[in-house]
Chain A
């Protein structure tokens, strides 16, 4: 084939429009999938941004997982609320479970527009070249976020970068590319859904399923095969897959349903004892000396003026205790609600004359680990249910759950509930 013929006709194979033969491909099917993703991915993006804000990155230190983010995290500079207590639990459950459930919809959407990837000639105008570059960002960021998210919740960190860094920056690329794609394509979606309606194409059985009329975007195949599935069947398959993923995972966020979460990372039940709920980071994996959590343990309180008080566990148990039903809700989406008993943090602040502290710095006995220290806002200090917990469900905390004492903060990400607490410093500035 001569050079000019190659340029005109294309290299063949997938670049040849006749290679694409599914009669289902067309603006209507793509528009239906796009509408589902417009709503679904928007919810996933918003809950993701909120989850980032729930760490209160403005406090710096371990709270700020992406110190270089600049303007990208300006929106998160508010103090994360402390009620309702289920706030982060619901936010993160939705983010992770909906994200996983949308995987089949994203793949179906990519399938529906696959011929566009192999358009020939690849570039017809500057406008098209720029738009295709933005689509590469959209597809790359969407798949990147789904892959890193799914791997992270299963503890497979095979990437060589921090999950927080990758997921956060890719999220902004996604938000930019997604917004511009919606702005450019929304009229096409509205037009094709208006033209055909939602119900009529769904009523056509497989035998009479025909391709849509030729469209300006060349999604409709010029030489289609006979249909082997109706549009209704294809959408039922995609929707059913989403519901299937959801059914096999949702139990990891709803305590009584945990056994049903067959394929969720937190779908295993540990037992029925007071400390047998889900663990995040075992005592054994921290390398903390067991003797340091025994009789020798002291809680060190440091007040805003620098005065220090050391308390034994018995001293803490003698203070007025409070019991609160609060969830541990992990950034990974799983959660569990337990009944915690401990000293309200604001009572400990009062011991060192720091009730008016602007922030609180909590240190664990853990020598290393990304979350061995954590900061709290003044709002979290004042929240009556923010506890230094000593007991759970009527029993002493187990080593895995933070014995001798751990933080429990209402509405905050689980990782902020520091375990094996050694020192609490009240600060006059944040």
Chain B
């Protein structure tokens, strides 16, 4: 029996516990079916969008960057583009509602402020990240050259 399952009884017990809690949580929400369905949609959607859309898109973009930049300037150039680009994209992803002003009206009603500054701020942070990276790239190239010509 255990051989047919493929792991220990502990493994099965732990996972049954996980499904029991999940089942109970779902059962408490069945009375509110519209909420349950839209929560389920976002639950599945979040995983699908990351695993099958954003993740692969990032991997493809990185493959493109490697093809383009590795022959031109090696690993050093590649990473000096990769790092600021990745940080900038991360900040955009996390703060998209503010940067893209997706909730301007509600934000104003809640805070007595406007969301206008956030796009500029994100752009400014992005420019600063690329500028710092360019500076560090120039410094490492210079240092490497000086080492070669003593």
Binding site for B on A (CB under 8 A): 14, 68-72, 100, 103-104, 107, 110-111, 114, 117, 124-128, 130-131, 133-134, 136-137, 139-141, 143-144, 146-148, 150-151, 154-162, 165-166, 169-170, 172-173, 175-177, 179-180, 183-184, 206, 228-229, 233, 237, 240-241, 244-245, 248, 262-263, 265-266, 268, 270, 278-282, 284-285, 400
Cα A114 to Cα B11 in complex, Å, equals 22
**B150 lies within 8 A of chain A by Cβ:** no
Q: Check A155/B110 contact, CB under 8 A, given A173-B25, A179-B18, A228-B70.
A: yes
Q: Are A282 and B19 in contact (CB under 8 A)?
A: no
Cα A400 to Cα B35 in complex, Å, equals 32
Shortest Cβ distance from A263 into B: residue: B95
Q: Are A245 and B97 in contact (CB under 8 A)?
A: no
Cα A156 to Cα B101 in complex, Å, equals 9
Cα A170 to Cα B24 in complex, Å, equals 12
Residue numbers in B under 8 Å from A136 (CB-CB): 47
Q: Are A103 and B15 in contact (CB under 8 A)?
A: no
Residue numbers in B under 8 Å from A162 (CB-CB): 35
Residue numbers in A under 8 Å from B25 (CB-CB): 72, 169, 172-173
Cα A159 to Cα B17 in complex, Å, equals 29
- Report B16-53 CB contacts with A as 1/0, cut-off 8 Å: 01111110111011011011001100111011001100
- Report B69-107 CB contacts with A as 1/0, cut-off 8 Å: 010000100110011001100110111011100110011
Q: Are A140 and B106 in contact (CB under 8 A)?
A: no
Considering residues A151, A229, A262, which has the most beta carbons from chain B within 10 angstroms of its beta carbon? Answer: A262
Q: Are A114 and B6 in contact (CB under 8 A)?
A: no
Cα A183 to Cα B15 in complex, Å, equals 10
The majority secondary structure among interface residues of chain B is helix
Identify which of A14, A110, A169, A245 contacts B94 (C-beta below 8 A): A245
Q: Are A110 and B55 in contact (CB under 8 A)?
A: yes
CB pairs A–B below 8 angstroms (5 shown): A127-B11, A161-B38, A165-B32, A177-B22, A265-B107
Residue numbers in A under 8 Å from B91 (CB-CB): 244-245, 248, 263
Shortest Cβ distance from A151 into B: residue: B97
Q: Check A233/B39 contact, CB under 8 A, given A125-B6, A151-B97, A169-B29.
A: no
Distance (Å) between the CB of B125 and the closest chain A CB? 7
**B4 lies within 8 A of chain A by Cβ:** yes
Q: Are B14 and A282 in contact (CB under 8 A)?
A: no
Q: Are B21 and A173 in contact (CB under 8 A)?
A: yes
Binding site for A on B (CB under 8 A): 4-7, 10-12, 14-15, 17-22, 24-26, 28-29, 31-32, 34-35, 38-39, 42-44, 46-47, 50-51, 55-56, 66, 70, 75, 78-79, 82-83, 86-87, 90-91, 93-95, 97-99, 102-103, 106-113, 117-118, 121-122, 124-125
Q: Are B117 and A285 in contact (CB under 8 A)?
A: no
Shortest Cβ distance from A177 into B: residue: B18
Q: Are B46 and A144 in contact (CB under 8 A)?
A: yes
Distance (Å) between the CB of A230 and the closest chain B CB? 10
Q: Are B29 and A279 in contact (CB under 8 A)?
A: no
Cα A100 to Cα B93 in complex, Å, equals 11
Distance (Å) between the CB of B76 and the closest chain A CB? 9
Q: Are B98 and A265 in contact (CB under 8 A)?
A: yes
Distance (Å) between the CB of A300 and the closest chain B CB? 27
Residue numbers in A under 8 Å from B34 (CB-CB): 160-161
Shortest Cβ distance from B30 into A: residue: A68
Identify which of A130, A173, A233 contacts B79 (C-beta below 8 A): A233
Q: Are B86 and A103 in contact (CB under 8 A)?
A: no
Residue numbers in A under 8 Å from B12 (CB-CB): 127, 130
- Given contacts A143-B50, A154-B107, 9 further A-B pairs with CB under 8 A are A114-B51, A134-B19, A143-B47, A144-B39, A150-B97, A172-B21, A176-B20, A176-B21, A281-B110
